[in-house]
Structure 1
Amino acid sequence: MEEAVEEVPPLKVKDMPVIEMYNSEDAYNNIAKMVEETKKASAVIFNTFQELEQPEIGRLNQHLESPNFAIPFHKCFSAASSSLLAQDMSSISWLDEQPPKSVLYVSFGSVAAMDGTRLLEMAWGLANSGSRFLWAVRPGLVHGSEWLEMLPSGFFEATSGRGIIIKWAPQQEILSHPSVGGFWTHCGWNSTLESICEGVPMICSPFFGDQFVNARYVSDVWRVGINLHKDLERGRTENGIRKLMVERDGEEMRKMAMLLKEKIDAGLKMGGSTNRELDELINVISSF
């Protein structure tokens, strides 16, 4: 599983997306059909930045005859509320009281789920790290639990005064807050992009699909995070949190993340790469 995939560096075999369902053949056939239909499209929009994935976009250009554009949706279009749960804005006032870059934001998105053992290991990793944290634990995240029933005894006492848990977070507002210094994420693509756009380095705990690919790029290509892969053992998570939040390695990742943010911000300005891509897309649409 540690072998490199020669056709798609820097991925390893264990990073390749796997479809785990009853009829995986049908799922693969559906994906193949989507790929073929994409090739027939009048134009293709990739939800990314040229500054982030220029080599990958170049390789895709070799297989697409239609024009394609790298346009990050959440940066170019107004964000209509699409949240699946009510956002808890009280977290922002709590962040206002914390020192700069001191808080680890933890969220595994709207779909990922885990068992109680993994939650317990996460909880003790957070507690033992000594770091401040804002943890979004949505109802249904843990199998067989309504919300926080499976948190270990003594957790709240061990983290008193330095962490809060909420059901659902206003993620973009949190990531842009000056008190946030890291993001422990499942590495869904939207979360990954949002974190990079705000210059926030990551701890990656992917669950399925493209999340393993995203995590590999975060850690090995862009060098803005730590990839824990599937390992949530408390000692490893504690070490990962300390590395990101207080050690020199984490500071280097934070600098790399800020450099990426600056490049992305420049691309969004008039005459920048993203701005040009958007103008070209408008021209293509207007030509029909």
Structure 2
Amino acid sequence: MGEENKAKKAHVLIVPYPAQGHINPIVQFAKRLVSKDVKATLVTTVFLSKSTFSDLTSSVDLQTISDGFDEGGYDQAGSADVYLQTFWSVGPKSLATLIKKLVDAGHPIHGLVYDGFLPWALDVAKQFGIRSAVFFTQSCAVNSVYYHVSRGLLQLPLQGSNVISLPGLPPLEFSELPSFVFRHGSYPAWLDVVVNQFSNVDEADWVFFNIFYELEKEAVDWMSKFWKVMTVGPTVPSLYLDGRLENDKDYGMNLFKPSTSACMSWLNGKPKSSVVYVSFGSFASLGVEQMAELAWALKGCNCYFLWVVKESEEAKLPGNFIEETAEKGLVVTWCPQLEVLSHESTGCFLTHCGFNSVLEALSLGVPMLAMPQWTDQGTNAKHVEDVWGIGIRARPDEKLGLVTREIIEQCIKELTEGEKSKEIKKNAIKWKNLAKKAVDEGGSSDKNINEFVAKLVCD
């Protein structure tokens, strides 16, 4: 009987786009599959396999493909255009070679879960007759906008009134749309990537979203009319949600090395809910003027703050800022974000609203101060404030084109002690409980993952 079960064990290939914000959720999804007795093989690029700070459990296998830049990855390419063109040319052949190698070695593949940014992975899966699921790392709302653009239902550049209405979404001002759409022509290579996610999506067997149903149920219901949609999130390490995966407290692959001991020992000495945690993620970059406004706001509000400033951004800090704020603040180049957000000293999260950061804060019940920069972040910030009620937005001064220190200080005060703060904290706890419920045994996301696994084994 044991051998028969072993023979039926499903093997799923997991293919993320090689960036931190895309790797984290799909790696976590792979761990969920392993907990359901599925063999999961994560496919990363040759360069990232050599350059990441990896602490993946042995339960998830690792394999590599080439993006055409095995020695330097994205930075070696020098531009998005060159990187994407090369990866899109080299990647499909490299993935096909890997699949052949695994099959020949006696490891047949029953399913392929690929990042929406890599639609060519679906074409490769079709060549081998492998069932496939597209995994969207961004929200349903954001992807609905991109879908409408891809089908010509939303024409670019935008024209007419300043507000659009799309099925299952709240009315969105132009500035609340993803920046690639709102600022048409700003990043043409990336607009092509996000729109082309839908070039062959109708051929995918499943469409996965890294959310739970209650979070965007109207959008999910609308998309379910034409795709087999499954919500499988939030894909946050189990320790912070249901606790069913043993010792699962980190995603396991870091492109940056966190200053864990420095951050945690500093937080341990601070009063409960007293610290403003500030991070703009792995990709967003602030201008020098905006950096200065944020710095002086943190100094001016006289609160405790923990600020993640990547090494590439450190030169933008005002002179002597770190020394002048040493009594109240800690500046690090990277930190263990989940541990920081779950620490009792953390009171709020000043964030760019990358979707992973939003889901992490939501799952841990931390109120957010949204300062979106580009891509999907404006749409996420709209939902944080107006749909989910778990934060507020710090809006740019229209004339200056940046968020001033006065606005940031005012928002921090409002979020921590203003009239709205009680309601926001209450909403944050509500969504935290719903996120946990979704991944608990029998929750909406857990049921969907079980259904996916059962289908693979049956077929």
Please state if 1:238 is matched with 2:400: no
Instruction: Find the counterpart in structure 1 of residue 163 from structure 2.
Output: 4
* In 2: Cα distance, 1:48 partner to 1:265 partner: 12
Please state if 1:217 is matched with 2:383: yes
Instruction: Find the counterpart in structure 2 of residue 39 from structure 1.
Output: 202
Instruction: Find the counterpart in structure 2 of residue 199 from structure 1.
Output: 365
CA drift at 1:229:
4.1
Q: Pick which of 82-91 and 156-165 moved more.
A: 156-165
On the 8 A contact 1:10/1:216 being kept in 2, the answer is no
| CA radius of gyration, larger in | 2
Where does the alignment leave 5 or more consecutive residues of structure 1 unmatched? 142-146
1:162 is aligned, of 305, 308, 328, to 328
Instruction: Find the counterpart in structure 2 of residue 56 from structure 1.
Output: 219
Instruction: Find the counterpart in structure 1 of residue 154 from structure 2.
Output: none
Question: What SS class does the counterpart of residue 434 from structure 2 fall into?
Answer: helix
Identity %: 31
On the 8 A contact 2:210/2:234 being kept in 1, the answer is yes
Q: Pick which of 254-263 and 223-232 moved more.
A: 223-232
Instruction: Find the counterpart in structure 1 of residue 298 from structure 2.
Output: 126
CA drift at 1:153:
4.4
Instruction: Find the counterpart in structure 1 of residue 20 from structure 2.
Output: none
Distance 1:111 1:67, change over 3 A: closer
Instruction: Find the counterpart in structure 1 of residue 139 from structure 2.
Output: none
TM-score, normalised by the number of residues in structure 2: 0.57
Please state if 1:267 is matched with 2:438: yes
CA drift at 1:36:
3.1
Give CA-to-partner distance per residue, 1:30-87, whole Å, 9 cap, x none: 44432132221011211111121111211111231x3533332224675442222110
TM-score, normalised by the number of residues in structure 1: 0.89
On the 8 A contact 1:131/1:245 being kept in 2, the answer is no
On the 8 A contact 1:104/1:182 being kept in 2, the answer is yes
Distance 1:192 1:80, change over 3 A: closer
Pairing of 1:58-77 with structure 2 (within 5 A): 58-64=221-227, 66-75=228-237
On the 8 A contact 2:322/2:331 being kept in 1, the answer is no
The letter for the 1-side match of 2:430 is: L
CA drift at 1:119:
0.6
On the 8 A contact 2:209/2:229 being kept in 1, the answer is no
Instruction: Find the counterpart in structure 2 of residue 106 from structure 1.
Output: 278
Give CA-to-partner distance per residue, 1:203-237, whole Å, 9 cap, x none: 11111111111000001000111112444211001
* In 1: Cα distance, 2:411 partner to 2:187 partner: 37
Give CA-to-partner distance per residue, 1:118-160, whole Å, 9 cap, x none: 111001111111211110101113xxxxx2x443346446534
Q: Pick which of 90-99 and 156-165 moved more.
A: 156-165
On the 8 A contact 2:220/2:229 being kept in 1, the answer is no
* In 1: Cα distance, 2:237 partner to 2:323 partner: 40
Give CA-to-partner distance per residue, 1:250-271, whole Å, 9 cap, x none: 2321111011101211222222
On the 8 A contact 1:71/1:277 being kept in 2, the answer is no
Distance 1:93 1:27, change over 3 A: closer
Q: Pick which of 29-38 and 119-128 moved more.
A: 29-38
* In 2: Cα distance, 1:242 partner to 1:208 partner: 25
Instruction: Find the counterpart in structure 2 of residue 247 from structure 1.
Output: 418
Please state if 1:17 is matched with 2:188: no
* In 1: Cα distance, 2:224 partner to 2:287 partner: 41
Q: How many residues align?
A: 280
Question: What SS class does the counterpart of residue 152 from structure 1 fall into?
Answer: coil
The letter for the 2-side match of 1:225 is: G
Where does the alignment leave 5 or more consecutive residues of structure 2 unmatched? 1-157, 239-244, 397-401
Q: Calculate the aligned-residue CA RMSD, in Å.
A: 2.3
Question: What SS class does the counterpart of residue 105 from structure 1 fall into?
Answer: strand
On the 8 A contact 1:116/1:150 being kept in 2, the answer is yes
